[in-house]
């Protein structure tokens, strides 16, 4: 292991291929590629406002989070049957497996489906069945995190948690996503307390477009175990100190931040500063079908833009396992696999 830049792009790609990784911030509805969106629209007789796959991709130019969400929620309308949720999830898991992801924690947005009359069980069982198949076929572990849409009311979130109660065994936690500005975490204090009482893990998007105050609230009012994104935390030195002291993970999504203009470009992305501040930051794809890349694409982009070293990459990957909601026995196994893979790569490319 060295603390120098990669000798070549090929060496960096070889490291990404070699290292087993965890992905903890991926919205399963954000993995719906235009080709599958069209196939499901045909299968279900749903009209799309696009004539071709090319037209869909052309629409993916975003000014901010809201301009993305409008298109993202429109895309979810093709998802109707349990098989649709299975097919979408399976397509993601195949891509994640190809990127050597060995553990994935998947967000899903049930309110974007139940509002259209799709049953909670249809959503959860379809996603869960694909996860079971990935475990059986590749030994890949995974878990589901139910996200509340923060632009809706807390009462709606509470009703959603209640509707998911029969499927509690399939969930590891709850999260908070959608339009951040004007919808602070404390709007959801009661529903997060209810989820915590059920033994669910807690995460929340905070500091993606919102201020550091929203990250403080997610920690102090909601009691979250991880912060999703959290990039604006870097503007508040006291917050950075708190995140570092408590090893509160940040699930960072570089290509998403660039696509939604959270950061002007990747060269100014704060993920390297986060590592230097000893934060438990890790890399994720967020909505890969919309933001131009899956997990290894995100890694490759920041390696280039920020001149990350092999050691930086190893730290980011290790942080992913530290931040995950797997049990400690499995965590130790993955960390061992990680160290072995790093040692082998170092012999060949280091």
Q: CA 279 to CA 242: how far, in whole Å?
A: 10
Nearer residue to ligand HPA within complex by CB, 27 or 128: 27
Q: How far is the CB of 41 from Zn ion (least distance, A)?
A: 24
Q: Which does 183 bind (CB under 5 to 8 A by kind): Zn ion, ligand HPA, none?
A: none
**Length in residues, the chain:** 350
DSSP notation for 246-271 = TT--EEE-HHHHHHTTSSS-GGG-TH
Nearer residue to ligand HPA within complex by CB, 72 or 214: 72
Q: Which does 208 bind (CB under 5 to 8 A by kind): Zn ion, ligand HPA, none?
A: ligand HPA
Q: How far is the CB of 27 from Zn ion (least distance, A)?
A: 6
Q: How far is the CB of 179 from ligand HPA (least distance, A)?
A: 7
Q: How far is the CB of 138 from ligand HPA (least distance, A)?
A: 26
Q: What angle do CA 31, 162, 107 make, to 5 degrees?
A: 15
Nearer residue to ligand HPA within complex by CB, 57 or 100: 57
Q: Which does 30 bind (CB under 5 to 8 A by kind): ligand HPA, Zn ion, none?
A: ligand HPA
- What sign does the CA torsion over 127, 129, 134, 135 have? positive
Catalytic residue among 29, 105, 180, 208: 208
Helix (H) or strand (E) holding 69: helix 65-75
Does 286 participate in binding Zn ion (rule CB under 5 A)?
A: yes
Q: Which does 178 bind (CB under 5 to 8 A by kind): Zn ion, ligand HPA, none?
A: ligand HPA
Q: CA 272 to CA 338: how far, in whole Å?
A: 21
Nearer residue to ligand HPA within complex by CB, 231 or 338: 231
Q: How far is the CB of 24 from Zn ion (least distance, A)?
A: 10
Residue nearest to ligand HPA (CB): 177
Task: Catalogue the long-range contacts made by 159-164 (C-beta closer than 8 Å, 24 or more residues apart).
Answer: 160/110, 160/111, 160/114, 160/120, 161/191, 161/194, 161/195, 163/110, 163/114, 163/120, 164/110, 164/120, 164/124
Nearer residue to ligand HPA within complex by CB, 271 or 338: 271
| Contact residues: ligand HPA, CB under 6 A | 27, 30, 65, 72, 177-178, 205, 208, 256, 286-287
Q: How far is the CB of 80 from ligand HPA (least distance, A)?
A: 20
Q: Is residue 208 annotated as part of the catalytic site, yes or no?
A: yes
Does 87 participate in binding Zn ion (rule CB under 5 A)?
A: no
Q: Are 284 and 26 in contact (CB under 8 A)?
A: yes
Does 105 participate in binding Zn ion (rule CB under 5 A)?
A: no
Nearer residue to ligand HPA within complex by CB, 178 or 319: 178
Q: CA 35 to CA 95: how far, in whole Å?
A: 15
CA distances from 194 to 124, 208, 218, 225, 243 (A): 20, 25, 15, 15, 25
Say which residue the tokens 């497996």 belong to.
97
Q: Which residues, 6+ apart, have CB-to-CB distance to 329 below 8 Å?
A: none
Q: Total binding residues for Zn ion by CB under 5 A?
A: 1
Q: Which does 284 bind (CB under 5 to 8 A by kind): ligand HPA, Zn ion, none?
A: none
Q: CA 279 to CA 275: how far, in whole Å?
A: 5
Q: Which residues of this protein are in contact with Zn ion, per CB under 5 A?
A: 286
Task: Kindly list the catalytic residues.
Answer: 208
């Amino acid at each position: 292991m060295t603390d120098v830049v990669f000798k070549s792009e090929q060496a960096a790609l070889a490291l990404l291929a070699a290292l087993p990784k965890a992905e903890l911030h991926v919205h399963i509805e954000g993995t719906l590629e235009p080709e599958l969106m069209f196939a499901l629209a045909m299968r279900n007789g749903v009209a799309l406002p696009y004539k071709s796959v090319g037209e869909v991709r052309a629409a993916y130019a975003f000014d901010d989070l809201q301009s993305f969400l409008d298109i993202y929620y429109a895309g979810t309308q093709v998802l109707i049957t349990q098989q649709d949720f299975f097919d979408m999830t399976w397509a993601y898991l195949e891509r994640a497996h190809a990127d050597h992801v060995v553990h994935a924690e998947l967000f899903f947005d049930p309110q974007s489906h139940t509002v259209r009359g799709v049953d909670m069980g249809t959503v959860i069982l379809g996603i869960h069945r694909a996860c079971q198949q990935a475990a059986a076929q590749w030994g890949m572990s995974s878990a589901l995190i139910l996200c509340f849409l923060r632009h809706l009311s807390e009462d709606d979130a509470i009703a959603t948690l209640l509707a998911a109660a029969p499927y509690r065994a399939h969930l590891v936690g709850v999260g908070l996503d959608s339009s951040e500005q004007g919808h602070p975490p404390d709007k959801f204090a009661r529903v997060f307390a209810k989820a915590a009482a059920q033994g669910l893990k807690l995460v929340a998007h905070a500091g993606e477009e919102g201020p550091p105050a929203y990250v403080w609230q997610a920690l102090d009012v909601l009691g979250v175990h991880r912060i999703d994104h959290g990039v604006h935390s870097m503007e508040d030195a006291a917050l950075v100190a708190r995140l570092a002291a408590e090893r509160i993970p940040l699930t960072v999504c570089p290509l998403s931040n660039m696509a939604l203009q959270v950061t002007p470009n990747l060269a100014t992305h704060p993920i390297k500063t986060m590592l230097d501040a000893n934060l438990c930051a890790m890399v994720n794809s967020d909505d890969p079908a919309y933001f131009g890349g899956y997990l290894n694409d995100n890694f490759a982009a920041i390696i280039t833009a920020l001149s990350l070293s092999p050691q930086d990459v190893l730290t980011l990957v290790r942080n992913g396992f530290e931040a995950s909601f797997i049990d400690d026995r499995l965590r130790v196994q993955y960390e061992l696999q990680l160290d072995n893979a790093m040692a082998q790569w170092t012999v060949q490319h280091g």
